[in-house]
Structure 1
Amino acid sequence: MASSGFSPATPLVFNGEGYHIWVVKMKTYLQAFDLWEVVNSDVEPKPLRANPTVAQIRQHADEKTKRHKAMSCIQNSVSDAWDKLNEEFQGTERTRQQQLLNLRRDFENLKMKEEETVKQYSDRIMAVVNSIRLLGEQFSKARIVENVVSTLPQRYEAKIPSLEDSRDLTAYP
């Protein structure tokens, strides 16, 4: 079969506007490269049978790389929108720093409520810690343990020394 010489242009880069038009163009672009079907399915290529031919090996390799090729096309076509999406959902660096400051302050001011169980208090602490970690800040287990131990209500004070004796609380990095 003779080649038609068809070489599609690079895909339209999505800049945050005209999403519906971009989707249609991306679908057409991926169809031109026989990649569209892998975008909408989770089907993996069947494993090679015993003693495959060279042609079967090549075809299997092509099928396995289709998903990666499609993802590459999509990722390359949203680069301009990435900054907008990042700012929209993560905020600017200044906003992120402000969020971190507020979360650190929340962490330092946490106190266990009288009606709260240790599990509930621990969950509340970890929610703040996980939010801090999601913003990219390292947070050591030792700092968390120290905060928990130092903020437990007075009714737990008798149990803290036995906890410290039974476990080396400094062993948490």
Structure 2
Amino acid sequence: MASSGFSPAAPPVFNGEGYHIWVVKMKTYLQAFDLWEVVNSDVEPEPLRANPTVAQIRQHADERTKRHKAMSCIQNSVSDVIFTRIMACESLKQAWDKLKEEFQGTERTKQQQLLNLRRDFENLKMKVEEIVKQYSDRIMAVVNSIRLLGD
């Protein structure tokens, strides 16, 4: 990370609620440390060739270390109850996918949630006692929920 004086806060803690929000925050957190790209990669760094240079040794060590740092970030950003569900995972991708499957559901579940949210959006009407700001907030809550599901 560049020495810009930026020091991100501790990772957001996931306790089983608000998974979609936690994912967005966690992705940004990992990106701040240049660790996001290793989350979706389940490929181990290639072994060093014979007679590697010092630069190659450092790069290889950095690649291996990134995987452990990212796993540590994920393990430390979940409550103990959630941690017990991923503690047996061997790889970072396996842990991330397990959380995704359990708390986001299958693709079919996600599509059903999107359909329900779109229906809610289409049926939104301003209530008589409601001010424009409150109505706008309700609209944005539904829109943001749709966005969090990736649509």
Normalising by the residue count of structure 2, what TM-score does the alignment of the two structures yield? 0.49
1:12 CA drift (Å): 0.7
Paired residues of 1:16 and 1:84 also in contact (CA < 8 A): no
1:54 CA drift (Å): 1.6
SS in structure 2 opposite 1:49? Answer: coil
1:62 CA drift (Å): 0.9
| Change beyond 3 A, Cα 1:111–1:32 | closer
SS in structure 2 opposite 1:56? Answer: helix
Normalising by the residue count of structure 1, what TM-score does the alignment of the two structures yield? 0.44
The superposition leaves residues 20-52 of structure 1 with CA deviations (integer Å, 9 ceiling, x where unpaired) of: 111000001111111111111112212222221
1:129 CA drift (Å): 49
C-alpha separation between the residues in 2 aligned to 1:124 and 1:6?
34
User: What are the ranges of 5 or more consecutive residues in structure 2 without an aligned counterpart?
Assistant: 81-94
How many residues align structurally?
A: 136
Higher RCO (CA 8 Å, separation ≥ 6 residues): 2
Q: Which residue of 1 aligns with 2:69?
A: 69
| Change beyond 3 A, Cα 1:115–1:87 | same
| Change beyond 3 A, Cα 1:43–1:125 | same
Q: Percent identity?
A: 94
Which has the greater radius of gyration? 1
RMSD after superposition: 14.1
| Change beyond 3 A, Cα 1:124–1:13 | closer
C-alpha separation between the residues in 2 aligned to 1:20 and 1:133?
10
C-alpha separation between the residues in 1 aligned to 2:29 and 2:15?
17
| Change beyond 3 A, Cα 1:110–1:72 | same
